[in-house]
Every structure is written in structure tokens, then in C-alpha cells.
Amino acid sequence: MRSKATQLSVFKEPKVLNIERFEYDKKKPEMKRKTPTSKQKMPKRAKFDYTIDFDAIDFRKQPELYRVGKGEQGVLSVQPYKGEILPHWRFKNPEIAQKSADKIYEMFEEYKKQNDFVGADMARKFLMVG
């Protein structure tokens, strides 16, 4: 006669491994996860390149040279957008800051309509800075 544990195991569904998420290591016969665990670090984002000659490059004509960077890096560097947005960037008091933010947001929307990623990202950075 079978024990209860043996009888119950007959009714358990078989375990199915998702092979795509594992890789086999020939040195060690166990399976290893491909996805990073909490102890493993995710790849870092590329750092903003401050060595570029920002005054000489027109990023509207050469958007492929633009790098997003972390946070608001490069907000006061990228031309011609700096020259277009900076005159509207004011924050002396809340009323002036709100008027400034509204104008810069209009510029953000206009850059988006024109599919100008660099301009939209620069306007976003100015809004985030304050």
C-alpha cells in the first residue's frame, strides 16, 4: 500500500521550467538565472559627455550627437535650445515662475509636434530644474 505522501504526489502537476530564462553552465550541472538578482547591478546609463564643444555644435542640425545623460545634465549647454529657452526661464517669485513654466511647457509641446527630441528634452530639463 502507498503512503499518503506518495498518493498525493501522483496528483501534483509536473513542474515546468521556463528554459528561456535559464542558461546551462557546462562546468556546473545546475541551472543559472539570466535575469539579474537584487544583488546584481543593472547596466549603468551613459554619462553626459562634457568634452563636446557645445558652442560649436548646432544640435538641431546634428541631433545624433546629443546624449540624454542623468537627470538634468547639460541643461545650460546644448545650443540652440539653451538660447531659445533660457530667456523665458524665470523664478524670482511664484507668479513669475508659473508664467515662465507655462511658456516653457508651450515650447516643449511645440518641439514635440516638430518631432524634435533634443528640444523637447531640453525644455523638459528646464521645467524639472525649476
pLDDT for 61-89, tens place per residue? 998 888 877 778 778 888 899 999 999 99
Q: Is residue 53 part of a domain?
A: no
Same-domain check for residues 75 and 117: yes
Q: Is residue 81 part of a domain?
A: yes
Give percent of the chain with pLDDT exceeding 90. 34
Q: What gap in Å lies between CA 104 and CA 15, rounded to an integer?
A: 56
Q: Is residue 68 part of a domain?
A: yes
**pTM of the model as a whole:** 0.60
pLDDT of residue 109 exceeding 90, the answer is yes
Same-domain check for residues 125 and 67: yes
User: What are the pLDDT digits (tens) for 36-60?
Assistant: 555 556 556 556 677 888 888 898 9
Same-domain check for residues 70 and 120: yes
The pLDDT-based confidence of 13 (bands split at 50, 70, 90) is low
Q: Is residue 105 part of a domain?
A: yes
Q: Which residues pair with 33 in a beta bridge?
A: 22
Q: Is residue 56 part of a domain?
A: no
What pLDDT is recorded for position 64? 87
- What is the domain count for the chain? 2
What pLDDT is recorded for position 112? 95
Q: Which residues pair with 23 in a beta bridge?
A: 32
What pLDDT is recorded for position 111? 95
Same-domain check for residues 14 and 70: no
The pLDDT-based confidence of 99 (bands split at 50, 70, 90) is very high
Q: Is residue 55 part of a domain?
A: no
- Structural domain boundaries enclosing 121: 63-129
In total, the chain counts a number of residues equal to 130
